[in-house]
Structure formats: structure tokens, C-alpha cells
Chains A and B, each alone.
Chain A
């Protein structure tokens, strides 16, 4: 009906914006790339929510997986429901889901109109930055499972994991800091107001009764700040001292307490008005810094451990019936049933005759491995293809992968104390300040006891390192934010400090240096007559029928549009696919299968060669598709640039068949190691660290998880930021790899800026100390100097990091 010769680029799916292969799927003039998108479109328009497509262009999410009816069966389990729901009574339930797919204003609008899709939904509210949706629903009209299925049918399937079951609600802590800030701000403003007359007037110009009244009001106002707003600093200083560590909160608490004590004493003894304006202001600014830091963390929240990637339930066969049970209840000897794309929860042996396992999750290698009856399969593998039955051999906690994760590296993390710059500085700082204060006090003591007391307290007050304490959260917090805009997402500010310290960079190969998306498919002709264009298209048509990853890749890489349909389509597990197109029989699969025309693969001596797929038409082998890893663009330059400053090496789980090419990248100096098991990678890094090296490890798979964790900084590379990534300190988008030197460089600049702002606040301190040691510290002077030093340091560090980021081209 329409001319077929339009360019592919013009065919854009109305729902998700992907390029369509043809114009087969459409409603009126609107084209869709797949049936999934068309169904979602119909769902949305039938509910009267067409505006979804007006708010943003092509806002939809493509459904990659065909909905499996039983996928969410575990949500019928009472225990799981109880854990997931925030609140439940007879008729109402509330639940908070994390939905990583939320990406635009249309998403917010659609999800908040969820009640149009099912009357059981009472209300839905989205938190965009956290990518969460909070749903209130009627439990008598809608089950949790059905709710999740409604979301999934729209492409917004929530992320539900063991992790989210265990999670404690964090909401409360963020409210607390707002409240503390509010109280401190209230006190700060009013104390300033009440202290103001004193700043302007000379002595004796204000009636003493007023001064006294104002002063006592100030005391009253300072109490909630002392006991509520500032309580965290005292607590943290106390905890630090108990562990014999002098953290930054020790000098801060010391300064604050002296400030308060002297102020109260002056007011009660009627000898002055105190410095309560400085005290409340100081707490206010400190809390402001804390809030800024927390806001930055909120949008970068990706703290996950291996539990996040494991399914929460599995289907077992009990008395010939299938039953869904939580994964923690699996016992040795249980028989479990897995479907296509499901993860193997624990080490098991195969009961079905054969199955194909995708270990990309574990090894980063995307080729399927064929296993036969009785073979052992490891946890973390993903079943590909038909349903298969397994018998559990190890408990979940004893599996190969969990053993690796239970390695000491993962345990020590919580106990190890990060010796950040601020803690180091504060140690010396505290002693120096105490020294100066005591010296000044001792100097004045024989001359004038009153001045000695004044000088001693004044030194401690003026040296209170609030500017120092603010410079780190603002410099590194801003750095974190800027790096995040460049798709280099850093876990916390300690990581930036560590990034600046590293001297060795170690790469993993598969998925890190190579990318699965840019993997090339090459066709080799194996017969006298080359394939015609039509024949090639027919192969594409056939490949489209299968969900096998290799078929999908062939389908994606062969150009052209599908015309014919397939008759007599058949898929032989672990061997290949066949079908009749245009009256001829096409086969795609392993060489053995094509040669014999029957499945000879049961004989385990002849396992298929998985890096290539053969093509046969009408029984004769015509050619072979080869899948070649392609290295990420710009890799050579990136490594060369890195080698200017760091030692660069490679740790790969693969055999060394690409060694020549890799030598070209890494040059003579780079160390290349192949066939490294996860444990060997970990050991290697430990050994290098013992030689005083600070290591940056870049990897992608779970097999790198141990090494990533052990290294000083672990970067997980991901081609899709909302997709899988193992435990790490940084998540980086694959296409940003060439910017790695820039990111490292910027991290070093951030640390330099921290030192510069330290220098600034030291200069302020020295000026202040000059007056303080003479016992001359007027309240006005303190009230002006302290906020100015804080604000100017904050201003400097924020500006400097932004300028550096711009100059280095971070975003």
C-alpha cells in the first residue's frame, strides 16, 4: 500500500522513538516498531491519556521482554506482600516502587494518572529524582501482583529485589535535617535582630535593662540550637573521641562549647553580651552544607549489593505441583523450574536433557553455554530458551558466587575507617589551636587574669573550623554533581579523594574495552555461489523468529526490510532454527546440526562452536556468520593518555586470542594477564596494593565484583545506566570511556581546590587569631568574620570546581 523504498531513518516508532524496520505495525498514520509498543499505545489511548504523547515526543519505553504470565507470581506470597507494602489495613495498601525507567515529564504524568488504567488505584505520586512512585490502592479491588503487572504492561515494570525487601525507610532522616535547619535559622535570625542594637551603639547608649532583656532572650533562643540543631556534631565528636580519632567535629564542638560557655558566663555575670549570634549562625551554615551534601547524594543513590541482582523467588516442584517460594527458603535437593531469561538462584544440576545458559552476568562473556543432563550449573547464570528443571546442590549462601562475595573484602568495608583529608587536617588543627590558646593564656596569666581568660577562649572561638568543615562538602559535593552530569556517577566524596590518589589503572576486557552493542557480525561465504540479496533478507526474516541472542544480533546487523513470512518454523534447543520462506528451507545453527540435518549434539564430544553460526539453504551449507568483539572507539588514545600519568594494565577472564591487538593498545609497558578467575583478579590487586600501589579497576561483570571492591576505586562500566552494575564506587557510561583521563584529572583538581580553600580559611583564622591572642574579640568582629569566612570559602570552592569542570570539558 505504501512505497517500500523509504529510508529506515524516517520510520520512527510513535511510542518509543526507536527506528522501525518496516511499516507493518501501525494504527492510522502512526507507526510502531513492535507489537509491544502498539499494545501500550492502545492501552494508553483507550484510557483517555493521549496527552502522554503531547507532553514529550516519543516518551514511551520499549518492552524488551515478552510478558511472562508467571513472572510476578511471587507477589501473591503473603510474606513478600507484607515486606513490600509500606502500610496495609482491610481495604487500603500503600507501596513505594523504584522504577528506573522514569525519565521525563510524560512519565510523571502517566504514572500519576494510573487510576485511569485500573479503578483499584486510588492515587500515585512520583518522586522524579529518586525515580520512585508511591501508590495507594484498594486491596480488595487490586492485588499487589496485578498492580505490578499493570505497571509492567505500560513498560514501567518496577525493580523489586531482595534488597528492596530488606530496606529500611530513609524518608525520616531527610526531614530531620530540614527541621534542624529550620530551628537553627529561626534562632539565627532572631538572635541577629536582638544583637543588632549593640553593634551600632557605643557603650552606654542603650539602656542596660534592654541589653539584659535581649541577652536573656538570646540565651533562650540558643538552647534549641544547642540541644537539637547542633546535637549531631557533639555526638559525632564524642563517638570519634571514644574511638581515639580526632575528626573534624572535635574542633567544631570544642569551639562551639567554648563559645556558648563564655557567652552564658558573660551574660549571667553581666560583663558582656556574648557571641550567641556567631554560634547560631555557625550552626545554621554548617547544617546548610550538610543539606547540600545530602541533596547531592539523593540523586546519585545507587548503593546496591549482589542481593539486588538476585531474584526474590523461584518456582519449585513439590508433590508434582509448581509452587512459588522465596529464594531464602530453598533447600538442597529441591527441584526448581526456570523459564527463559530467569536467573539460576543457587548452584544446581540440570535435570532436563539440555539447556543453554547465559553466563554474561557472571563472566561478562555473552556466548551461550550448553549444558546437558547431570551437568553442574552455577548461580548467576541465566537460562536461555525453553523451560528447564534443576536440582539444587548448594544452598544460596554456599554458592560459588556468594562465596566470592562473602570474601573478606566485602566484610571489612563497614569496619574500615576512611582516613579522609579532613580527619587528617583536623587532628593537627586541633592540637595547634589548643597550643596557641594555652600559650596565649599562659602569656597573659601573670599580667592580667581576666585578659588571660579572654585570650584563651577567644582563640578557641575564632579558630572554630567551620569554613574548613564546609569546604569539603561544597568542593567535593559540587565535583560529584558535575561528574554526574558527565555520566560519571561517583558514590561519595571519599571516592573523589581516592581517585586523586591512584597511580595504577587496571582494565577488564570483555564489556569494558569491548562493547556488546558495537559487536560486529561478519558473513563468510562458504559455497561457490554468493548469497543473493533476497536470500540474505530471508535469513534475517528467519533470525527474527528466535529470541536467541545470536539470532537477534544477525537480525540487527543484516540490512533491509523483512517482506516474507516464515512457514513451518522450528527451533531446536542448543542447535539452531529452521523455517520455510518462499518455498525454500532455511536453516541457521551449528555446523553439526546443519550437516546432518538432525540433532547430534547430545554427544558431548561435539559441542557447538559458539562464536559462529552457519547458514544452510535447502540442505547445503552456504556460509557462516562470525561474531567479532569490537573495541570501543578512541581506546588507543585513552590508554596512551592514561599511560602518561599511570601504570596501565589488563586483567581478563578470556583466553589470550586477541593478545596481538591488545599489545597494540597497551604498548610495551602495559602488563597483560589472561585467563584470570575472579579470585585471581582479587589476589592480584591485593598483591599490587601490598606494594603500595593505589589501584583503579574498571570492569563490568559480577566476576569483577571482588576486584572492584578490593581496588581503591572500582569503576563499573555500563552501556545502559539503569541496567546491571556490580558493587562499585563509580558507574560510568560505556561511551564515556574516552573521557576517563579528563575525569581523573578533574578529581585531582577538586582535591587541589580543597587545599586552596583550606588555605583561605587558615588565613582567616590567622587574622582572627592575631586579635584573639591579645584578648580583643568584640562580638561584632566575631559575628562578621565567621560568616564571611564561611560564605567566601563556599563561594570560592563552588565557583572554582565549576570553572575547572568547564575548562576540562566534563559536561
Chain B
């Protein structure tokens, strides 16, 4: 049963990794705006027609 000490410690470390990932995400601004990306993705595929001359 002593393996529990090891397993719990490992699981905590793993969770800590996720916490650090979350902190990084917040610091890099991913939580600043939770609305615009949902709209932006709708226009991702809109073609940018090249500069054209009127015929």
C-alpha cells in the first residue's frame, strides 16, 4: 500500500502541471476576451481576393 504515497504525489505533480499551464494561458492573454474568437472563427475561411483591376 505504500505505493499510494508515490501515486498521490505523482497525481499532484500532474495537477500542478495543469495549473501551471492554466497560469501560462491566462498570462498570455487567452482569457482576456472570451467572445471575439468565437466570432472570428466564422470568418477564418473567407477568401481574400487578390487586388484586382476593373475590367
Contact = CB atoms under 8 A, between A and B. Distances in A.
Contact of B33 (A51, A129, A207): A129
Nearest to A46: B51
A32 B42 CA distance: 27
A47 interface: yes
Query: Counting chain A CB atoms within 10 Å of each CB, which of B11, B16, B18, B35 scores highest?
Result: B35
A127 B36 contact: yes
B26 A105 contact: no
Contacts of A113: 48
With most chain B CB atoms within 10 A of its CB, the pick from A46, A47, A106, A175 is A175
A174 B32 CA distance: 7
B51 A48 contact: yes
B8 A51 contact: no
Contact of A217 (B12, B27, B32): B12
Contacts of B16: 186
Nearest to B44: A109
A35 B17 CA distance: 58
Contacts of A213: 5, 8
Interface stretch (A177-185, A305-313, A486-494, A641-649): A177-185
Given A129-B36, A175-B26, A178-B26, A186 B46 contact: no
Interface string B5-49: 100100110011011001100110101110110011011001111
A194 interface: yes
B19 A182 contact: yes
A4 B22 CA distance: 64
B23 A51 contact: no
B31 A178 contact: yes
Contact of A189 (B15, B33, B42, B48): B15
A51 B39 CA distance: 15
B27 A175 contact: yes
Nearest to A183: B19
Contacts of B36: 108, 126-129
Contacts of B1: 207, 210
A48 B46 CA distance: 11
B50 A55 contact: no
Interface in A494-524: none
Nearest to B46: A51
Nearest to A194: B8
Given A179-B23, A190-B15, A210-B4, A48 B48 contact: yes
A667 to B, nearest CB: 46
Given A109-B43, A112-B40, A175-B27, A129 B49 contact: no
A198 B42 CA distance: 49
Contact of B48 (A116, A128, A174, A175): A116
A51 B49 contact: yes
A217 B11 CA distance: 12
B31 to A, nearest CB: 5
A194 B27 CA distance: 29
A48 B52 CA distance: 7
Contacts of A51: 43, 46-49
Interface residues of A, number: 37
Nearest to B30: A178
Given A48-B50, A178-B31, A186-B15, A108 B8 contact: no
A113 B16 CA distance: 39
A145 to B, nearest CB: 25
Nearest to B31: A178
Contact of A171 (B18, B23, B32, B42): B32
A54 B19 CA distance: 42
A388 interface: no
A217 B48 contact: no
B48 A105 contact: no
A49 interface: yes
A3 B24 CA distance: 64
Contact of B32 (A54, A116, A127): A127
Contacts of B52: 48
A141 B33 CA distance: 29
Interface string A466-488: 00000000000000000000000
A175 B31 contact: yes
Contacts of A179: 23, 26-27
A186 B32 contact: no
Contacts of A688: none
B1 to A, nearest CB: 7
B39 A182 contact: no
Contacts of A207: 1
Nearest to A112: B40
B41 to A, nearest CB: 10
A49 B48 contact: yes
B21 to A, nearest CB: 10
Nearest to A176: B26
A186 B19 contact: yes
Interface string A128-146: 1110000000000000000
A54 B51 CA distance: 17
Contacts of B32: 127, 171, 174-175
Nearest to A102: B36
Contacts of A171: 32
Contact of B8 (A48, A109, A112, A217): A217
A128 B39 CA distance: 9
Interface in A154-180: 171, 174-175, 178-179
A322 interface: no
A50 interface: yes
Nearest to A55: B43
Contacts of A194: 8
Contacts of A129: 33, 35-36
A314 to B, nearest CB: 35
Nearest to B2: A209
A21 to B, nearest CB: 26
Top 5 nearest A-B pairs (CB, nearest first) are: A51-B46, A109-B43, A128-B36, A186-B19, A127-B33
5 contacts: A51-B46, A106-B43, A127-B32, A178-B26, A217-B12
Interface of B: 1, 4-5, 8, 11-12, 15-16, 18-19, 22-23, 26-27, 29, 31-33, 35-36, 39-40, 42-43, 46-52
Interface of A: 46-51, 54-55, 105-106, 108-109, 112-113, 116, 126-130, 171, 174-175, 178-179, 182-183, 186, 189-190, 193-194, 207, 210, 213-214, 217
